[in-house]
Structure 1
Amino acid sequence: MLRNNILVFVKSMLMVQLFFVVLLAGVSLDINSIWQNDALVKRLPKAIQGMQINLNNEQAAELVRNANVALAGRNQWPWSGSTYFSRTWPQSLMTSNIQVLASADLTVTGKEEPDGLPGTFELPAIVQEESAPTLSTEELVQLKDSRVALYCTHSAETYTPDSGKPKLDGKRGLVNDAAREVVGSLRQQGVNAVFYDEIHDFPEYEKSYTNSRETVKRIIKEQEELAALFDVHRDHIPGMEKAETVKINGKPSARILIIVGTDERKPHPNWEENLAFA
């Protein structure tokens, strides 16, 4: 009984295979006969010609740009402009993945920028200091038993006039020297200040803040009487070709801008106290 069942199964499999062989052979013969039909072959070029799309160089470059800006054939890199990452890049990401937007002429709406350099805005009035500011007696008393800690999330930031480039990958840029100068000035005035010089932005720059967060946790754990914690950066204001400076002891010096985070995006219950302290 078992033997008969096996034979029936084998015969069935052979018949199925034979069926597919015959089917494929028939389809192949039909295709060959169609292709050998001279009348149809002669009509194919005309049919294909009606489907052709003619593009000039500019249109072709635009299509390539929608898929990959690096292959767009531009005279300069697109991210060299000050508005590339804030406007152009998000738009390119959208149009390269949503085709209905790729064929549309997208425009960015918003307030018109004032006359002058793009991206400029009003800054607080600059007060020229003839000498370095000093802490009052009351402030020194408040900070006597406390500590001020500084660190650099972007450790590689430096200054082009001195270093030849704005960033030293894998090394400590001159922004670290600026942080040390602040620490030295605070110590001269009797404030317990310390600088943590860990490198946070190498080898993976995008993990800079993830790495510096661990440093912040360690600082808070080590410094029980922590009065202030500063992340020192070498930044610039987009659109400004010349940096704002003040004179200290007769020498031009960079202005210090203290940035205080708010609770606009994430909970930050003490941000107003930080603002008052700053």
Structure 2
Amino acid sequence: MKKYRAVVIDGKKLIRRGIAVMTLAVVAALGVLDIKIAAPKINVMPDSIGQSAVAESVPVIGAVSGTAEKLKSSAIAVVKKVVSFVLTFDPFDLHTAVAEELPLIKAVGYGYLARTANQSIAAYNPQNVDTGGGTAEPATPGTGQYPITEVDSGQGKALGKEKSKILIRNETDFGINIDEMLSSPLKFDMKGEEPKVLIVHTHTTECYSPEGASVYSADKSDRSLNADENMTAVGKAVKRVFEKKGIKVIHDATVHDNPSFNGSYENSRKTVEKYKAKYPGIAVVLDLHRDAFIYDDGSKAKFVTEIDGKKTAQLMLVVGTNGGGLDHPNWRENMKLALKLQNHISKKYPSLMRGVNLRKERFNGHVALGSMIIEVGSSGNTLSEAVRGAELAAAEISDFLNTLK
């Protein structure tokens, strides 16, 4: 099946760059030319308090009441503000200027590997639709081959001797009482004859590295429409484990991110709502994804551990909240389940799970009391590693859910 890669040309951005060049030329001229301006002798605003207040709001007025140097500095400041407004970023800040042009720096700057999902686009969405916060792939270097680097990102390694604890990567302003959530009962059960678990893939076409690969080509896509190599294959494996363990489950293989990546969360939400209307008893919705990290040097991270002598992809539970402004009143129920699952899985496989990721974005978590994303490995992992990690986790998840019957 043909793989694809999206290329977007932003005409507005090109126009902005043209305006920027001309405006920067003006700024440079102001800085180089020694413009001699006679300081006015009039007192524009006798009241020093009022003068100070207005000067802060309108810098030019503050400069007129002062020296020629202040006037020139203020004019430059105003021009800079205009440029920043037009470009929607500050070109005079080297980091943000370069980051705007080089998405790789934007994705992995500020001292840590930032998943592009962290770059929220909810604020730019006039319909206030749950886009998932911009979970596009990290930018690759462009061309050439780069190494795939094995990384142990498990919470067991991070916690060291305190393996009995749970690691949370909290990207919200909410506080989490882990002990309280672990001891608190869930607001749903697994009783009944109809399906209780739904597996979906918002980013269905996410796929993995070839078996045995130690390098990757930057011009190759990390997406595939082939159901035998993308997230559908992982979902099938999880479904088999659930059914073997007696869990009534539905696996939906709808492709939600093709032909357009934009709107994939809206598409998957509609899919979930369709099943919820048919089977109101669905309590757990698992959205299976695979993660992606690219280092500053272009190398791709492969989140892997060794279990029973076999390389196994590590997993991460991701829970959305209403921190981004979208309606999600029961997100703590989602988090409660995630913590209980993390605790249960980690007791048997301490190195399998990465820390639980709590996010401002909603990620369609409002659709069920037991809704969450599961990141199965990363683009550096192979499909076999991903399937193995997913199967081990699914067995433990099934055992936990069976206690709710």
TM (norm. structure 2) is 0.37
| 1:72-151 correspondence runs (5 A) | 98=86, 105-108=92-95, 113-114=110-111, 119=114, 124-126=155-157, 142-145=189-192, 147-151=196-200
**Alignment match of 2:334 (pick from 266, 274, 277):** 274
Alpha-carbon distance in structure 2 between the residues aligned to 1:249 and 1:180: 23
In terms of fraction of residues, the more strand-rich structure is: 2
**Alignment match of 1:182 (pick from 238, 245, 265):** 238
Q: Cα RMSD over matched residues?
A: 4.1
Instruction: Tell me which residue corresponds to 2:310.
Output: 251
Structure 2: give runs of 5+ residues left out of the alignment: 1-13, 20-81, 97-108, 116-152, 160-185, 214-219, 339-405
Alpha-carbon distance in structure 1 between the residues aligned to 2:279 and 2:337: 19
Deviation at 1:198, TM superposition (A): 0.8
Does the Cα contact within 8 Å between 1:155 and 1:198 map onto a contact in 2? yes
Alpha-carbon distance in structure 1 between the residues aligned to 2:304 and 2:333: 28
Instruction: Give the residue type in structure 2 aligned to 1:66.
Output: R
CA offsets per residue over residues 79-128 of structure 1, 9 Å max, x none? xxxxxxxxxxxxxxx959728988x623448xx945xx7549x862259x
Instruction: Give the residue type in structure 2 aligned to 1:259.
Output: V
CA offsets per residue over residues 133-188 of structure 1, 9 Å max, x none? xxxxxx9xx535351111111111111325974112x5434211111111111111
CA offsets per residue over residues 208-242 of structure 1, 9 Å max, x none? 12221210111211222112001111112453733
Structure 1: give runs of 5+ residues left out of the alignment: 1-62, 69-93, 128-138
**Alignment match of 1:66 (pick from 1, 11, 17):** 17
Q: Aligned pairs, how many?
A: 175
Does the Cα contact within 8 Å between 1:144 and 1:192 map onto a contact in 2? no
Residues 97 and 192 (structure 1 numbering): CA distance in 2 closer, same or farther, change over 3 Å? same
In terms of fraction of residues, the more helix-rich structure is: 1
**Alignment match of 2:210 (pick from 157, 161, 169):** 161
**Higher Cα radius of gyration:** 1
Does the Cα contact within 8 Å between 1:67 and 1:96 map onto a contact in 2? no
Instruction: Give the residue type in structure 2 aligned to 1:158.
Output: C
Residues 98 and 165 (structure 1 numbering): CA distance in 2 closer, same or farther, change over 3 Å? closer
In the alignment, structure 1 residue 264 sits paired with structure 2 residue 323: yes
Instruction: Give the residue type in structure 2 aligned to 1:157.
Output: E
SS at match of 1:245: strand
Instruction: Tell me which residue corresponds to 1:152.
Output: 201
